[in-house]
């Protein structure tokens, strides 16, 4: 849980570096970027999560610990996609529920690729940001700061 708090601090620092008020899209990008495993502590958390995930199938308490907070983040992803669709930034083929879930799952999978299989973090970021731009294009007013600075 302490590791989660430090992850939240890194996310907040990323958003603060952007300046101005961060919208839901920027918050989502910062969260998803953290899940890619760019920080050594996040990489450790992904390894530990993966190790215990195999055991969680038989232990409801462990499963609850491993998924704590996931529902809130999935809801954020769905909300961001739904807003983009309602604003006309996303096409009619975009399904907020499915595509929000897909963004969440994509980030977690890319994080696993980075940490467990050695995929380059920059490649994972390019993939994630490419998909986010397609599903949730930035609002014109925030277009210059739409991408999160992963340097934190």
Rounded CA gap, 64 and 131, in Å? Answer: 29
Q: What is the pLDDT along the chain (152 residues), one digit of tens a residue?
A: 677 788 888 888 888 887 766 788 998 999 999 999 999 998 988 888 788 777 767 777 766 666 676 788 889 999 999 999 999 999 999 999 999 999 999 999 999 999 999 999 999 999 999 999 999 998 876 444 445 455 54
- The whole model's pTM is what? 0.80
Residue 44: count of CB within 10 angstroms of its CB: 13
Q: Exposed, middle or buried, 103 (CB in 10 Å: 0-12/13-18/19+)?
A: buried
Rounded CA gap, 84 and 69, in Å? Answer: 23
Rounded CA gap, 83 and 62, in Å? Answer: 34
Cβ contact 89:139 at 8 Å: yes
pLDDT for the residue numbered 12: 85
Q: Which residue has the tokens 């199938």?
A: 57
């Amino acid at each position: 849980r302490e590791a989660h708090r430090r992850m939240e601090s890194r996310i907040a620092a990323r958003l603060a570096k952007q300046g101005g008020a961060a919208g839901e899209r920027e918050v989502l990008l910062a969260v998803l970027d953290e899940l890619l495993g760019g920080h050594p502590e996040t990489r450790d958390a992904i390894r530990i999560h993966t190790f215990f995930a195999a055991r969680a199938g038989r232990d409801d308490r462990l499963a609850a610990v491993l998924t704590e907070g996931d529902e809130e983040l999935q809801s954020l992803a769905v909300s961001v996609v739904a807003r983009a669709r309602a604003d006309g930034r996303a096409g009619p083929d975009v399904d907020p529920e499915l595509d929000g879930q897909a963004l969440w799952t994509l980030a977690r999978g890319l994080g696993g690729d980075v940490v467990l299989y050695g995929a380059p973090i920059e490649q994972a970021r390019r993939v994630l940001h490419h998909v986010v731009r397609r599903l949730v294009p930035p609002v014109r007013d925030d277009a210059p700061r739409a991408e999160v600075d992963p340097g934190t």
